Amino acid sequence: MKVLLLNPPGNRIYIRDYFCSKTTKSNYLFHPVDLVALSGTLAERHQVAVLDCMAERLDTGACEARIDAFDPEVIVSLVGSVSWNEDRDFLSRQRGFGRRIIVIGDVLHERSEERLLQEPWIEAALHDFSNADILHHLDNQLSAVLEMTLRDEQGRPMRVRRGERKGSFRIPRPRHELFPSRGYHFSFARTAPFATVLTDYGCPYPCTFCVIGTLGFKTRPVADVLEELDELRSRGVKEVFFMDQTFGVVRKRALELCAAFEARGDLSWTAFTRPDTADDELLSAMRRAGCHTVIMGVESASDEVLAAYKKGYRADVVREGFARVRRHGLRTVGTFIIGLPEEDEASLRRTLELALELDLDFMSLNMAVPRFGTPFRARAVELGLADPSDLVMDQGGADAFLPTRTLNRETMLALKKSMVRRFYLRPGYLWRRLRSVRNLQELRGQVREGLALITRNL
């Protein structure tokens, strides 16, 4: 079949990826890892094309013209709560042209049968992009499907859950060459072009506000990861963003990967990890292997909040972890979640003070949103802070979705913007960023991302 992998157009730059969606907080846009993984799986049996309207900045008309030119029988499309109304309007028109529409995204991660009842243009929804479900569905081998929402012979939606959500998984080599060569930007990349790569799927940690922890946890064989990286290297792509939620969670495997990266000697990369995972042995191996930037969750300065949302560590562990990363000469990115029900102006001040104390290279503020399928969503609905029928929300902070018990949405958004300005517009910080730049390409990227970030937070 002719199958199109689609990241649909929109009125803003949307990131729809890994069962999350948001507006970009500055100007970054990485390859949607769900489509990257599916490109390899589908290309084994079908004629596949990729159309990423976010990367190519295509409007609705241009996107429709490109779809018509390829004339796919099947469209596998990302959708997102951040863009749901636009996505449904666009894709329902494509269904009207006789094309089969299969979707993947956060808005289908909860109550998917109800969503398919409401949206007859959706043929099916994928809930795991690390397996072969899409192939089984297209081959009409429904008994082999593990994690999808399908329609039965009478068209009634049914949620299938048969998959092992732990262990290992294999996917054919992702076809990075099908994706646009321009249009992707990554705030922490030191060279261009870069690629987005996944070496494991899901997350073993139970943080209650994060959807990734609801997916289970599976790892890819090291040999498969290296095959993908070597193909990228053969095309001159040596900058990598590893989308693993915690690099190093399986210690032996992480060290094996690092040794293989070090042996290649030409990789430059960024990864997520945790302050309680990133010990000296792992950080030393990562640095030798080409890692230059580490992203870790801080979330809050409050031990009570960290415990309530099951982060699994305290603020003193956060301080120690970031200090270790700095000692190994790696750049630090601290991610924070603000606007939780317990939030007030005093707690926001303490969070900013912690960000300054940690001497971060970059701070990433995420607005609390009740992501579909998470315990936090259930609690927000119970507290009356979220309406379960409201499907449109943005974690990126262009809008504030939730009020807190003491702060309304407008106040939360104003405080968030103020925190961004106070962190990034310090003269000493700006001088340090300038001194750390390695080349003209990195300078251009830093200036582009910085200006976009500040503009969005004026």
- What is the average pLDDT across 27-40? 95
Per-residue pLDDT band for 7 (boundaries 50, 70, 90) equals very high
Q: What average pLDDT does the segment 296-315 reach?
A: 94
- Identify the band that residue 448 occupies on the pLDDT scale cut at 50, 70 and 90: confident
Q: Is pLDDT at 400 greater than 60 in this prediction?
A: no
Residue, of 174 and 347, whose pLDDT is higher: 174
| Tens-place pLDDT, residues 235-285 | 999 999 999 999 999 999 999 999 999 999 999 999 999 999 999 999 999
Rounded mean pLDDT of the chain?
A: 93
From 63-67, 359-363, 448-452, the region with the lowest mean pLDDT: 448-452
Calculate mean pLDDT across residues 187-192.
90
Q: What is the pLDDT of residues 120-147, one digit of tens each?
A: 999 999 999 999 999 999 999 999 999 9
Number of helices and strands in the chain (H, E): 16, 18
Fold of the domain spanning 186-456: pyruvate-formate lyase- activating enzyme (3.80.30)
As a whole-number percent, the residues of the chain with pLDDT over 90 amount to 77
Neighbours of 135 (CB within 10 A): 17
pLDDT (0 to 100) of residue 235: 97
What is the pLDDT confidence band of residue 397, given thresholds at 50, 70 and 90?
low
pLDDT of residue 25: 75
Burial of 434 (0-12, 13-18, 19+ CB in 10 A): exposed
Q: Where are the domains of the chain?
A: 2-167, 186-456
Instruction: Quote the DSSP letter at residue 258.
Output: H
Please tell me the predicted confidence (pLDDT) of residue 144.
96
- Res 218 pLDDT > 80: yes
Burial class (CB within 10 angstroms; exposed 0-12, middle 13-18, buried 19+) of 265: exposed
One-letter amino acid of 53: C
Whether residue 201 has pLDDT greater than 60: yes
- Between 209-218, 238-247, 280-289, 388-397, the lowest mean confidence (pLDDT) is in 388-397
Q: How confident is the model over 154-176, as a mean pLDDT?
A: 94
- pLDDT at residue 401 in the model: 65
Output the CA angle 366-369-375, nearest 5 degrees.
120
pLDDT band at 159 (very low <50, low <70, confident <90, very high): very high
Asked whether the predicted pLDDT for residue 349 surpasses 80, the reply is yes
What's the pLDDT at 140?
Answer: 94
Asked if the domains 2-167 and 186-456 are classified in one and the same CATH topology, the answer is no
pLDDT tens readout for residues 101-111? 999 999 999 99
How much is the pLDDT for 398?
59
Shortest CA distance to 297 belongs to which of 389, 203, 377, 227? 203
Could you report the per-residue pLDDT of 402-427, keeping only the tens digit for each? 777 788 888 888 888 888 899 999 99
Q: Output the furthest CA–CA distance in the chain (Å, rounded).
A: 65
Cα 249 to Cα 350: distance, rounded to the nearest angstrom: 29
* CB 139, CB 117: distance < 8 Å: no
Residue 163 is predicted with a pLDDT of 79
Structure tokens at 380: 């927000």
Number of residues assigned to the chain = 458
User: Regarding beta strands 166-168 and 239-242, do their DSSP bridges make them parallel or antiparallel, or are they unpaired?
Assistant: unpaired
- CATH classification code of 2-167: 3.40.50.280
**Percent of residues, the chain, with pLDDT higher than 70:** 98
| Cis peptide bond upstream of 193, omega within 30 | yes
Using CA atoms of 345, 350, 353, 358 in order, give the dihedral in degrees to the nearest 10: -140
End-to-end Cα separation, the chain, in angstroms: 48
pLDDT at 343: 83
